[in-house]
Structure 1
Amino acid sequence: MRIALISDAWHPQINGVVTTLTNTVATLKTLGHEVELITPERFKTYPWPGYPDVGLAFLCGPKARTILKAFKPDAIHLVTEGPIGYAVRRYCHEFGFRYTSSYLSHFPEYFKLRIGFPVWISETYLRWFHCDSARVMVSTASLETQLYQAGYRRLARWSRGVDTELYRPQPKDFIKDKRPIFMFTGRVAIEKNIEAFLKLDLPGTKYVIGDGPQKALLSNKYPAARFTGYQQKESLSRFMAAADVFVFPSRTDTFGVALLEALACGVPVAAFPVQGSKDVIIDAQTGFLNEDLQLAALSALELNSGDCRRYALENTWEKCTKQLVDNLVPMV
Structure 2
Amino acid sequence: MKLLLVTDAWKPQVNGVVRSYLNTIPELEKMGMKVEIIHPELFKLRFALPSYNEIKVVITRKKTLKNMMDQINPDRIHIATEGPLGYLARKICLTEKKGFSTSFHTRFPEYIQQRTKIPASFFYFFIKHFHNKAKKVLVPTPSMQAELIKMKFKNTVVWSRGVNHEKFGHYQKLDLGPGPIFSYIGRVASEKNIQAFLDLDLDGTKVVVGDGPQLNKLKKKYTDVKFVGYQFGQDLVNYYASSDVMVFPSKTDTFGNVVTEANATGTPVAAYDVTGPKDIIVNGINGYIGDDLKENVMNCLNIDRKKCQEYTKKFNWYECSKVFYDNIIS
- In structure 1, what is the Cα distance between the partners aligned to 2:133 and 2:176? 54
How far did 1:123 drift?
0.8
User: What corresponds to 1:135 in structure 2?
Assistant: 136
Paired residue type of 2:37: L
- In structure 2, what is the Cα distance between the partners aligned to 1:95 and 1:6? 16
Superposition pairs for residues 112-151 of structure 1, below 5 Å? 112-151=113-152
- In structure 1, what is the Cα distance between the partners aligned to 2:87 and 2:46? 15
Superposition pairs for residues 169-318 of structure 1, below 5 Å? 170-172=171-173, 174-318=174-318
What fraction of aligned residue pairs are identical, expressed as a percent? 38
Higher RCO (CA 8 Å, separation ≥ 6 residues): 1
Q: Secondary structure at the match of 1:183?
A: strand
- In structure 2, what is the Cα distance between the partners aligned to 1:308 and 1:285? 6
Paired residue type of 2:261: E
Which stretches of structure 1, 4 residues or longer, exceed 6 Å deviation after superposition?
A: none
- In structure 2, what is the Cα distance between the partners aligned to 1:56 and 1:94? 23
Gap regions ≥5 residues in structure 2 = none
Paired residue type of 2:320: C
How far did 1:311 drift?
1.9
How far did 1:116 drift?
3.7
C-alpha deviations, 1:74-125, integer Å up to 9, x for none? 1111111100000110010011001111111111001111344442331111
Q: Secondary structure at the match of 2:168?
A: coil
How far did 1:170 drift?
2.8
C-alpha deviations, 1:176-235, integer Å up to 9, x for none? 400000011111000000000000011100010000010111111111110001111111
User: What corresponds to 2:93 in structure 1?
Assistant: 92
How far did 1:329 drift?
4.4
How far did 1:262 drift?
0.2
TM-score by length of 1: 0.96
Paired residue type of 1:223: T
Superposition pairs for residues 153-164 of structure 1, below 5 Å? 153-164=154-165
Superposition pairs for residues 36-47 of structure 1, below 5 Å? 36-43=36-43, 44-47=45-48
- In structure 2, what is the Cα distance between the partners aligned to 1:71 and 1:176? 49
Paired residue type of 1:152: F
Superposition pairs for residues 41-120 of structure 1, below 5 Å? 41-43=41-43, 44-120=45-121
Residues 102 and 131, structure 2, Cα contact 8 Å, conserved in 1 = yes
How far did 1:243 drift?
0.5
Residues 243 and 267, structure 2, Cα contact 8 Å, conserved in 1 = yes
Residues 285 and 304, structure 1, Cα contact 8 Å, conserved in 2 = yes
**Equivalenced residues, count:** 329
Residues 100 and 329, structure 1, Cα contact 8 Å, conserved in 2 = no
- In structure 2, what is the Cα distance between the partners aligned to 1:253 and 1:60? 32
TM-score by length of 2: 0.97
Q: Secondary structure at the match of 1:86?
A: helix
Gap regions ≥5 residues in structure 1 = none
Gap change, CA 1:183 and 1:60, over 3 Å in 2: farther
